[in-house]
Chains A and B, each alone.
Chain A
Amino acid sequence: MLPDVLKDHAVAAALEAALPDAITAGHAERNEPTLWIEPARILEVCRYLKDQEKFVRLSGITAVDWLPADPRFEVVYLLHSLARNQRLRLKCWIAEAEPEIDSVTGVWRTADWYEREVFDMFGVRFRNHPDLTRILMPSDWEGHPLRKDYPVHGHKYSYQDE
């Protein structure tokens, strides 16, 4: 369902026509078109955007933790088309109970490390990722540091007098 404010946006309209109801919401505040995508359809949306709409570059993938909201995590995909000189932002809501979404490494190889970072920092799993392991934290670390319920200075080492 394409929101009215994006009806004139060529890419959003084309995406809605090709893959109806993949877009659940959207806005274009500050001239930055943003689309919320149904998580189950993110892979086909990304494939379409790369192959048909020339969004050849993936700038990055990250996530935002909206605790205590449910769904809790918002996975953000930052797309860039050099040919059109346009950027696009896709977002997917992921619930904490089942924090899984398809990996887009098959579409852009650069998604590899970004998805590993989101897994490392937030605990969101990416299905069919070639190697979903921690990338920044040590491989035996417990917990996901960028979650809002994770203490700022970590839980492992304490220098306070306790």
Chain B
Amino acid sequence: MRESTLHTDSITASDATHETVDQISAPSTSKRMILNMGPQHPSTHGVLRIVLELDGETILKAVPDIGFLHTGIEKECEVKTWQQVVTLTDRVDYLSNLSNNLVYALSVEKLIGDIEIPAKAQWMRVMLVEFQRLNSHLVWLGTHALDIGAMTVFFYCFREREDILRIFEMFSGQRMMTSYIRIGGLALEPPRGWQQAVGKFISAFPSKVDEYENLLNSNPIWKIRTQGVGFVPLEDLLDLGVTGPMIRAAGMKWDVRKDEPYSSYDQFDFEIPVHKENDVFARYRVRLEEMRQSARIIKQALEGMPEGAWQASAPKIVLPEREKMKTQMEALIYHFKIVTEGFRVPAGEAYQAVESPRGEIAYYIVSNGTSKPYRVFMRTPSFGNLQALAPLLEGRLLADSIASLGSMDFVLGDVDR
């Protein structure tokens, strides 16, 4: 049960360098006002509470209060087998499920050591993760524009998102929490006819991005609300732990896919969009161009998809095919052992970073040689990004804070786990 007491009898506000949420106060005679933004608020994109100290429309102090969505996922990972944890990872950043699956699978494969993921599985992973990036950016664009007042964009984005969710459903049976990327490869064989569905979507998509740009790029209201808003110097952003499109919109070309390639990303041809203005408009442009680049990667994956197995040949780790399990004794035994006891991973630690739509997501996994993880630390991008909230909001107008929060693109599941 949370108890937040805002004392109204003493001045402690702006002279302190850092205060707890429960201690911000202002005397009742000043024109300063303490307001709670959230935890239920349509523009905080989740259960985020920001305690704002306002002087009219200007924010003097903004203190974020997180933890409302904390569900103890890291603790839960320690009592499930390595295989079972995959379904937990989907739900951490619930808008980019496949990225979370991928980073977990890559970290565990790093720990296991001698497991070779076939080329087809790697390319499929790349294609699906880029679809996930499109998915996440579409939600971001729709809700960001909606916050600022452009309702049409929301409907357009969700129209495309519906197609992508149908593609996910075709692959895994699930629209969102797909758990499709597993340790050793994919969960299921890619369905028949996926090439047509993906091909149809990807040939129509670039013109849809043109539509979004038509609605917003030269829109005077959009430009007034977003240009020049939300500037924080690049060194501060890096020091505060911000990663992802916010850094690329500040002029630094850093993307984990290019700098530390994983899962055969080095075989794909794509650009990293970078802008220098470091405001909300630049972040919008960066993400829109990322959508185009993702479409480019998906097209290359579709055209060049290698043939072969979709999971590694590691019978002790990867579940056998369903038909084999029903007819062969060995496969049945392996299936039984993997599902009930789980497989063992050698003791040690591994760290793998992946570029999620929000920034650098990395899992630091410690194993003690048993069939359950010993410690799974999720270095989530939104937790780092949200630390830049105070410099981003303070000293600016309340209306600008809505645009700035949207441009940060954080997801509370990521922040709180």
Contacts and interface: CB of A to CB of B under 8 A. Distances in A.
Given A78-B379, A109-B387, A110-B384, A64 B67 contact: no
Contacts of B377: 60, 62, 76
Interface string B70-81: 101011101100
Contacts of B374: 64
B138 to A, nearest CB: 28
A136 B75 contact: no
Interface in A47-61: 56-60
Contact of B360 (A59, A135, A145): A59
Interface string A108-131: 111011100000010000000011
A57 B254 CA distance: 12
Contact of A139 (B2, B111, B252): B2
Interface in A8-38: 29-30, 32, 34
A72 interface: no
A110 B239 contact: yes
A130 B17 contact: yes
Interface stretch (B158-166, B209-217, B347-355): B347-355
For chain A, what secondary structure do more than half of its interface residues adopt (helix, strand, loop), or is it mixed?
loop
Interface stretch (B18-26, B276-284, B322-330, B334-342): B18-26
B1 A59 contact: no
B156 interface: no
The number of chain B residues touching the other chain, given as a range, is: 35 or more
B238 A112 contact: no
Contacts of B383: 113-114
B259 A85 contact: yes
Given A62-B377, A130-B18, A135 B79 contact: no
Interface string B386-398: 1100000000000
A83 to B, nearest CB: 11
B351 A87 contact: yes
A137 interface: yes
A85 B258 CA distance: 11
Interface of B: 1-3, 17-20, 22, 66-67, 70, 72, 74-76, 78-79, 110-111, 113, 236, 238-241, 252, 254, 259-260, 348-351, 353, 360, 362, 364, 366, 374-375, 377, 379, 383-384, 386-387, 416-417
